[in-house]
Amino acid sequence: MKTWAYRAVCLFAWAAIEVVAGNPVAAAAADRPNVLFIAVDDMRCELGCYGATHVQSPNLDRLAASGVLFTQAYCQQAVCNPSRVSLLTGLRPDTTKVWDLTTEMRTVLPDVVTIPQYFRRHGYRAVAYGKIFHNPFPDAKSWDEPTHTPKDVVNYSQANVARLAEFKRKMTATGKPKAAVQRMRGPATEIQDQPDDKNADGKMTSDALSKLRALAAGESPFFLAVGYIRPHLPFITPKKYWELYDRRKIPLANNAYLPKGAPLVAFGDRSLGGFYELRDYLDYADAPSPLDQSLTEAQQRELRHGYYASVSFVDTQIGRLLDGLKELNLERNTIVVLWSDHGWKLGEHNGWCKQTNYEIDARAPLMIRAPGAKANGRPCKALVEFVDVYPTLCDLAGLPIPNTLEGRSLTPLLEDTEATVKDAAFSQFPRRHAGRDYMGYAMRTDRYRYVEWLDATTGQLTARELYDHSVDPDENENLAERSSVVDELHDQMWRELPAPPIPFPFVQAIIDK
């Protein structure tokens, strides 16, 4: 049997022949590997395969054990829309100009070619189930069919639907802003007494398995994308997954405080480091600012319990997908890639949700199983970024890597987990603070996380953060004001990153209004 490396070389040769012949969908496409592309929303690196023995994730663990688990993979911005656009285009947020949840990718990059779109151009059939791009913007150009969403599922129970309606009525009666009323949702958690397939992620998995069987019988290689909602809020899963955990024994964050010496812009006075998202659930609408105090212990345990139950629920669904590949005899010819769009805080730095430049938000799960790869079954601690996924999949499928991409292929790491492909990983996050806009840039090296906060109008450096992971892996103390390495790290950051677009376009939009 050919090794993965040899097969990749052969496929690349075929691709070159096709380009010369002017036919990118020639017969060689049928010999290319399939791709199962699994996206999970808000999943942090707290799984069994990452050493979290208190979390039950047997199916994710077996995927990690059969492929390469990247232990230091970083998103380019720790919030949904920018992160997903960045990964799916292979471009950093400053290039995509997507820094928020409201910008539709095609309005700023009308001609960009996404991963599934590129694979379609090379003879693949690309189909999506669930959340791949940000929900409001499924991007029809990327797929052969409209993105599939599950039907006949139950979200909140009727009791909680009624509870939300009454809560909104009272908000309106007391003069709350219309936008706040519209954003309000039901409770942050709900224990469902119903089968998996009545939950959106369960039904979506069943639908995706039906499509998998159809794709397996087709003549073209496939790119099947399956995107899970959980463990995004609200934590709504069937009862059996809640019963996997004893709430009294769930560990709580051991650093429920802001990093010592951190500038307030790092959390921001509007977003509160993403905490505002939790306040959009009726039972946490009055939660205190993380700048003031922590949630109660009961609230912390409830949210952690719901999060872990959601992880285990999604883990079961992913196991069904992996079983489906095996039953259809597709494992030997299917690349499996699993990623989450960013990490998530469960009380760390007194925060909940995402939207910071800290390790807990920027680091996220990434697993790649390439048939025959020498490194399968071994974890890889090399620094990697989500912009690297696009060139890696091209490399594995034998497709030419577009020269516009800003990431690097990780295929050397799939052969040798001790190799390196880059010296640093970069993330960023915009922040509104004290009436001004800022952009924070974070660089993660083997030892340090270094952050610069720039005024988004003038480009002036207004604050720095430095965390030494050799002694402070939880990033609890900012050393920037008394370290001799910050200037060296500053130089490294701006050697490797393009100059920022000062003034930022989002600032100009605010001025124009």
Domain ranges of the chain: 4-426, 427-512
CATH number of the domain at 4-426, please?
Answer: 3.40.720.10
- Confidence at residue 270, expressed as pLDDT on a 0 to 100 scale: 66
Asked which of 111-125, 232-246, 278-292 is least confident by mean pLDDT, the reply is 278-292
Q: Residue 105 gets which letter from DSSP? A: H
* Domains 4-426 and 427-512 equal at CATH topology level: no
**Total Cβ atoms within 10 A of residue 175:** 6
- Which stretches does DSSP call E strand in 81-124? none
CA–CA dist 258, 350 (Å, integer):
6
Pairing of strands 461-468, 448-455: antiparallel
pLDDT at res. 509: 61
Write out the two tokens for 301: 């345990």
Chain position carrying tokens 């399939």: 34
Q: Name residue 18's amino acid.
A: E
Length of the chain: 513
Alpha-carbon separation of residue 288 from 9, 279, 284, 300 (angstroms): 57, 9, 9, 13
Structural contact between residues 282 and 210, judged by C-beta atoms closer than 8 angstroms: no
Q: Is the pLDDT of residue 160 over 60?
A: yes
Q: Is the dihedral of CA 60, 65, 68, 71 positive or negative?
A: positive
Query: Of residues 45, 49, 75, 80, which has the active-site annotation?
Result: 80
pLDDT tens digits, 87-106: 999 999 999 999 999 999 99
Q: Find out whether 390 and 88 touch, Cβ atoms under 8 Å.
A: yes
- Yes or no: say if 349 and 386 are a contact pair by the CB < 8 Å rule: no
Task: Say how many C-beta atoms besides its own lie within 10 A of residue 32's C-beta.
Answer: 24
E strands present in 80-238 = 125-130, 189-192, 222-228, 235-238
Mean pLDDT, range 304-325, rounded to an integer: 98
Predicted confidence at residue 276, as pLDDT, reads 87
Concatenating the DSSP letter of every residue in 304-347 gives: HHHHHHHHHHHHHHHHHHHHHHHHTT-GGGEEEEEEES---EES
Chain-centroid distance, C-alpha 511: 31
pTM (two decimals): 0.93
Burial class (CB in 10 A: 0-12, 13-18, 19+), 311: buried
Neighbours of 502 (CB within 10 A): 14
Q: For residue range 434-458, what is the model confidence (pLDDT) as tens digits?
A: 999 999 999 999 999 999 999 999 9
Answer yes or no: 49 catalytic: no
Residue 255 buriedness (CB in 10 A; 0-12 / 13-18 / 19+): middle
- Strand-pairing partners, residue 73, are 384
pLDDT at residue 26 greater than cutoff 90: no
Q: Name the percent of the chain lying above pLDDT 70.
A: 93
Phi/psi of residue 153, nearest 5 degrees: -120, 165
**What pLDDT is attached to residue 14?**
35
Assigned token pair, 82: 């920018």
30 pLDDT higher than 80: no
Token code pair at residue 53: 């023995």
Evaluate if residue 238 carries a pLDDT over 90.
yes
Does domain 427-512 match CATH 3.30.420? no
Give yes or no for residue 9 having a pLDDT over 80. Answer: no
Of all residues in the chain, what percent are helix, strand and coil, respectively (each to 5)?
A: 40, 20, 40
For residue 49, CA distances in Å to 124, 224, 497 come to: 32, 24, 32
DSSP structural state of residue 43? -
Q: Confirm whether 10 is a catalytic residue.
A: no
Give me the chain's average pLDDT, please: 93
At residue 11 the predicted structure's pLDDT band, cuts being 50, 70 and 90, is very low
Backbone angles phi, psi at 509, to 5 degrees: -60, -40
Residues 6+ apart with CB under 8 A from 182: none
CA distance between the termini of the chain: 63
In this model, does residue 511 exceed pLDDT 80? no
At 492, the amino acid letter reads: Q
Which CA distances in Å does 479 have to 85, 259, 308, 334?
A: 33, 10, 33, 46
Q: How far apart are CA 156 and CA 199, in angstroms?
A: 10
DSSP tag of 33: P
Report how far Cα 457 is from the mean position of its chain's Cα atoms: 29
Among residues of the chain, what percentage have pLDDT more than 90?
89
Q: Please, are residues 397 and 119 in contact by the beta-carbon 8 Å criterion? A: yes
Pairing of strands 334-340, 366-369: antiparallel
Contacts of 187 (CB under 8 A, 6+ apart): 156, 160, 163, 234, 281, 282, 283
- Do the bridges between strand 189-192 and strand 235-238 make them parallel or antiparallel, or are there none, so unpaired? parallel
98-101 LR contacts (CB < 8 Å, sep 24+): 99/430, 99/504, 99/506, 100/430, 100/506, 101/134
Q: Which of 134, 232, 342, 349 is catalytic?
A: 134
